[in-house]
Amino acid sequence: MQIMKFIYLFCLACIGVIILSCSQSQQGDKPIIEKKPNVLLFSKTGAYRHACIGPGGETLKSYFNSHGFNAIQSEDSTLFTSNGLSSFDVIIFFQTTGNILDSTQQNAFKKFIESGKGFVGIHSAADTEYDWPWFTNLLGVQFADHPDIQQATFVKVDTNQLTTKHLPDRWTRTDECYNFKQLPTNVNVVLTVDESTYQGGKHGAFHPISWYHTYDGGRAFYTAMGHTVENYGYTLFLEHILQGVKWASGRFD
């Protein structure tokens, strides 16, 4: 009788182990759904305001959202607090101009980058926060002036980097080519513009247009292209920016 009872209890224990094992196996087999990166498209202006901010912003949001990102656009600088920025992986300064952040907001943005997050600047991001040296170093340059909008040829310097792999070696397009107060240093240039193909360039044989680098714990990508509304109708340009966002997020290496 005692032997039968022992066998009965042993069988129950074995069944329990099997059920627990199956349950853990099923849980382990569940796919891990990675949260999509969040992008803030920040387009506040304190000076000149580009006509492309509205239509270009809508196009960028749609393009990002269809390629694995959650993107929102805002001009509310009060978002720049530790809590307000905590949910974002990348902040894009999209056609920002002038002084747009106070000292507290600047500090929150600085901490965001120091935590390992990403930054992308588009076109007039270089016309922003002139009195903040840290931001100039993050972006790489300050805007000086520009010639008229005209056709120019852009040259691919890095053929393997995410932001340029899809581009032709020489890319002829119409845009506003910025001249800078100083050329960027300690950055990885991926595109230059050939000054012999347009009028008004001031940097000679080496005129950087797009680049990336790591800075103060985070990642930064900048392109000086993107002045006109028409730019945002070209997939090559949208993909150039998207790949910059991917690199800045640090999740697609």
Lowest mean pLDDT among 33-47, 60-74, 123-137, 170-184: 33-47
Measure the CA–CA gap between 80 and 40, rounded to whole angstroms: 11
A 10 A CB-CB count for 130 gives 15
Q: For the domain that residue 219 is a member of, what is the CATH number?
A: 3.40.50.880
Q: Once rounded to an integer, what is the mean pLDDT over residues 128-143?
A: 98
Q: Once rounded to an integer, what is the mean pLDDT over residues 163-169?
A: 96
Q: What is the pLDDT of residues 204-222, one digit of tens each?
A: 999 999 999 999 999 999 9
Whether residue 161 is contained in a domain is answered as no
Task: Indicate whether 135 pLDDT > 50.
Answer: yes
Whether residue 33 is contained in a domain is answered as no
**Comparing 132 with 28, which gets the higher pLDDT?**
132
Whether residue 46 is contained in a domain is answered as yes
Whether residue 1 is contained in a domain is answered as no
- Domain range for 51 is 38-143+206-249
Which of 109, 92, 112, 113 minimizes the C-alpha distance to 101?
109
Identify the pLDDT of residue 82: 96
Identify the pLDDT of residue 253: 63
Q: Once rounded to an integer, what is the mean pLDDT over residues 94-107?
A: 98
Whether residue 109 is contained in a domain is answered as yes
Task: Indicate whether 3 pLDDT > 80.
Answer: no
Which of 117, 56, 58 minimizes the C-alpha distance to 87?
117
Count up the domains in the chain and report the number: 1
Whether residue 210 is contained in a domain is answered as yes
Whether residue 181 is contained in a domain is answered as no
Whether residue 106 is contained in a domain is answered as yes
Identify the pLDDT of residue 35: 81
The answer, as to whether pTM is greater than 0.85, is: yes
